[in-house]
């Protein structure tokens, strides 16, 4: 299988999502939002009450991150991905409300994968442990909601060439499952 490198501009459109396949490397530019589990809980509560969210979810990408504070002269501190399964309880509801992409690390639940297929959404994997390198792609960072959550507050990031890999596509492709299959098929070294 040959993987491509694709430049993506946000918001993520149906057409852009349709062109992505698992394993493709992407460089995301534009606006993305941040939220972790505490913020997701609040966002879903707002949705369930019919209240307005702090940003329109339509076509948006949420990065699962709790960045460290910025040093003087920097936009943001280290901004590595959070383990995504912590958001799995909330992701289907967020996708239903228009969310188009998610960035994190680790595999997603079957329920989230089904919701991504149904809603034509994509999950991108970012490299864990590379938070300082990822932070270089973040050009602006502004807290827009839930400031009381500190590092887990919802932020609006303006990013340029944010690096990620398509881990789940709209067709049901799952890079984690494919990786497991390939690993299991490797014969142990008999030396």
21, 36, 40, 105: the active-site residue: 40
- Catalytic status, residue 165: no
Domain boundaries, the chain: 27-184
**Contact assessment for residue 10 and residue 60, using Cβ atoms and an 8 Å cutoff:** yes
Distances (CA, A) of 131 to 77, 100, 138: 8, 23, 11
pLDDT in tens, 36-85: 999 999 999 999 999 999 999 999 999 999 999 998 999 999 999 999 99
Average pLDDT over residues 99-104: 98
H helical segments located in 49-100: 91-96
pTM of the model: 0.92
Taking all residues of the chain, what is their mean pLDDT, rounded to a whole number?
93
The CATH code belonging to domain 27-184 is: 3.20.130.10
């Amino acid at each position: 299988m040959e993987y491509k490198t694709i430049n993506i501009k946000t918001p993520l459109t149906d057409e852009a999502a349709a062109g992505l396949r698992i394993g493709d490397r992407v460089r995301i530019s534009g606006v993305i939002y941040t939220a972790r589990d505490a913020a997701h809980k609040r966002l879903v509560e707002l949705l369930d009450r019919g209240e307005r969210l702090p940003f329109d979810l339509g076509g948006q990408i949420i990065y699962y991150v709790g960045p460290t504070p910025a040093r003087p002269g920097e936009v943001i501190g280290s901004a590595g991905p959070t383990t995504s399964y912590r958001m799995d309880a909330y992701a289907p509801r967020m996708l239903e409300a228009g969310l188009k992409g998610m960035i994190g690390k680790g595999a997603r639940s079957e329920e989230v994968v089904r919701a991504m297929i149904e809603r034509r959404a994509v999950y991108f994997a970012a490299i864990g442990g590379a938070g300082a390198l990822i932070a270089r792609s973040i050009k602006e960072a502004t807290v827009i909601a839930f400031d009381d959550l500190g590092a887990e507050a919802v932020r609006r990031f303006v990013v340029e060439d944010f690096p990620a890999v398509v881990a789940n596509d709209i067709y049901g492709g799952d890079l984690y499952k494919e990786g497991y299959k390939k690993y299991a098929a490797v014969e142990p070294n008999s030396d």
